Amino acid sequence: MIFTTIVDIAYLIGAILFVWGLRLLSSPDSARKGNTLAAIGMAIGIAGSLCDNRIDGEGNYVWIAGGIVLGATIGWLVAKKIKMTDMPQMVSVFNGLGGACAAILSIVELSTVSLDTGGKVISLFALLIGCVAFTGSMLAYLKLDGKIWDSQVTWPKHNIINQFLLIIVLGMFTYLAMTNASNTLLIAFLVLCLFYGWSFVAPIGGADMPVVISLLNSFTGLSAAAAGLIYDNNLMLVGGILVGASGTILTVLMCQAMNRSLFNVLIGGFSAAGGAAQGADDQVAKTTSAVDASILLYYSQSVMFVPGYGLAVAQAQKALKELDDTLEANGVDVKYAIHPVAGRMPGHMNVLLAEADVPYPKLLDLDDANAALPSTDVVVIVGANDVVNPAAVDDPTSSIYGMPVLNVWDAKHVIVLKRSMSPGYAGIQNQLFFHEKTKMFFGDAKDSIQSLLSEVKNL
């Protein structure tokens, strides 16, 4: 009885810390504290689970301790080693492993325990969602890391194939739930679910990977919640529901940020066909030098930086913060415009800038940034592309037409820091590069910012 009470209290405290931590994660100012509280909640939940009277025998505790030590060591080493540019890949892998855990728990339960229909449905649901989250996340990781391209895993009429696969999966799901099927058929269902997860993500374009990561994260949460029901573990249930709900909400918000439905993301994906900037072939982009750009920045009253994935690739966030500090010391008002889908995962730019100690009040969301742009003297775009493409506003033939973007052309001057004239992740040319207000500053983002910083300091 005493152990049951301890477990219930531990789960209650853990659940409260999960909710509190999730609430604090909504702001970069309190995100670190929220993450710490959630980790403490998880530690308390694990400690409570170890008091569960269903765990008996010294051998079990040895296996559990070994798993905790091994998992914690791997997680710590990977998190310490990973670069900020590879953070989306790490999130995909960790998310996939969470789904795999739920799938393994389900397959063990289905193959070793006699379950009623309700128990079978819950276990099969956890198995299906966990498998989809696992293989889907692994493919998302390979796409994000450039190890696999869309053309290598996509077949003709792939979406139609996925629909047939889904029908087969649901058919087997129903049959297994209603009958006492053999382990052989259960393994066949496992393999089919794993294959469907891979095929589900295969036709989705690389530009939509942030949405896919968020959606698969919600799948993992649902599978964890189902596992909580299987093992009567309230903390797993609450944690899974929180992850599933937050992942779903984030997915919807990101789709809104791209002015697209989730259905369109899953069956479509960005396409370069018909989406090239009109007139790009016969236009010439104007360039600028470090000296001219630094003079423009130094004598401006307001400057807005627009960070993108190129900033992360170049690891230029600290150099950008130093340039920010130097301009602020000269009386220049500096702000940052953050597009909801900038980077390779939700909040990528916020995390990147927080790493460089950029104050959160300087970060403007899409609406606030667009409202401030007409009164901004200079916009400096650092590695962003699709989120500042005017084709989303004025080119009905573009694949990103209707997507809310940062209207950087409303500012008095635009400077684009970029390696080349190559298109962005959506695969289309950016007409902004040829705009009358725009000047291109080619080179590695970090080197370019440092050269600007050096010239500004000399003025």
In this prediction the pTM is 0.76
Q: What is the pLDDT of residues 193-252, one digit of tens each?
A: 999 999 988 887 666 777 788 888 898 999 989 988 888 888 888 889 988 888 888 888
Cα–Cα distance for residue pair 337/357, rounded to 1 Å = 16
pLDDT-derived band at 156 (thresholds 50, 70, 90) equals confident
**H/E element holding 166?**
helix 158-178
List the CATH code of the domain at 280-458. 3.40.50.1220
pLDDT-derived band at 343 (thresholds 50, 70, 90) equals confident
Q: Check residues 250 and 165 and name the one with the higher pLDDT.
A: 165
What's the average model confidence in pLDDT over 279-284? 61
In the chain, what percentage of residues exceed pLDDT 90?
40
Q: What is the pLDDT of residues 283-294, one digit of tens each?
A: 788 999 999 999
147 Cβ contact list (under 8 Å, min separation 6): none
What's the average model confidence in pLDDT over 23-31? 79
* Mean of the per-residue pLDDT values of the chain: 86
Contact status, residue 245 vs residue 162, Cβ threshold 8 Å: no
Q: Check residues 72 and 86 and name the one with the higher pLDDT.
A: 72
Q: In degrees rounded to 5, what are phi and psi of residue 337?
A: -100, 120
Q: Largest Cα–Cα distance in the chain?
A: 80
Locus of tokens 């053999």: 182
Q: What is the pLDDT of residues 103-124, one digit of tens each?
A: 998 998 888 878 888 889 999 9
Residues annotated catalytic, as ranges: 386
Domain spans in the chain, listed from the N-terminal domain onward? 1-81, 84-269, 280-458
Cα–Cα distance for residue pair 249/262, rounded to 1 Å = 12
Q: What is the pLDDT of residues 381-436, one digit of tens each?
A: 998 888 899 988 888 888 778 888 999 999 999 999 988 887 766 667 888 999 99
What's the average model confidence in pLDDT over 148-167? 84
Cα–Cα distance for residue pair 274/276, rounded to 1 Å = 6
Determine the residue type at 10.
A
